[in-house]
Amino acid sequence: MKLAIIDTGCANLASLKFALDRLGQKSIITHDLKELSQADKLLLPGVGTAAKAMSNLRVLNLENFIQTTTKPLLGICLGMQILGEFSEELHQKTLGIVSFETQKFQEKVNFTFPHMGWNQVFSSHELFKGLNGAYFYFVHSYCVSLNEYTIAECEYSIKFSASVNKDNFYGVQFHPERSGEAGEVLLKNFINM
Q: Catalogue the active-site residues.
A: 77, 175, 177
Nearest in space to 158 (alpha carbons), one of 144, 174, 137: 144
Cβ neighbours, 10 Å, residue 89: 19
Beta bridge partners of 76: 45, 172
Torsion of CA 29, 37, 19, 132, to 10 degrees: 140
Round to whole Å and give the CA distance between 25 and 134.
23
Contacts of 134 (CB under 8 A, 6+ apart): 120, 121, 128, 182, 185
Q: At what angle do helices 13-22 and 180-192 cross, to 10 degrees?
A: 80
